[in-house]
Amino acid sequence: MKKLIIFILILLPWFLSSLVPIDKEFYNSLVLPFFTPPPIFFGIAWSITYFLITLNIYSILKNYNFKLKDVEKSYKRILLINYITNQSFQPVFFLLRSPFLGFVSSISTFITTLYLYEETGSIREKSTKYLNMYVLLSLFATVLSVTIYILNVK
């Protein structure tokens, strides 16, 4: 039961940004590229990705017998930076209505995801498999964000 609670406590913060309301009127006013998936894609893809990120973090913690203080500082640092950049997208894109800041958030998330992948590999190589979808999804989000920004520059 303790392990399930730990898993849920790791998972829940990743859904925090989903509390930010999506401004559908703003989104629908944007010129979107032809490869923009339907909105439901993002909810499903990011939910799966957050579950996989949680498996990654859980496996790292398990590697250290769930003693957070023993986990490499470099891993904790990049995980925190990655979390902040990941969670910043919805507020800056939808609340501030800024495709540019959305792009900055996306590229920051992608770059820090690559560092997170590397840090994970240095601690527990087998756990990097949980981050593969995150790397691909954050790359796709970056390409989509920069394209939306370019198509909507006024």
Q: Are 116 and 82 in contact (CB under 8 A)?
A: yes
What is the per-residue pLDDT across 100-143, written as a single tens digit (0 to 9) for each? 999 999 999 999 999 999 999 999 999 999 999 999 999 999 99
In this structure, the number of other CB atoms found within 10 A of the CB of residue 87 comes to 18
Q: Are 89 and 109 in contact (CB under 8 A)?
A: yes
Domains and CATH numbers, the chain: 2-151 (1.20.1260.100)
What is the per-residue pLDDT across 52-98, written as a single tens digit (0 to 9) for each? 999 999 999 999 999 999 999 999 999 999 999 999 999 999 999 99
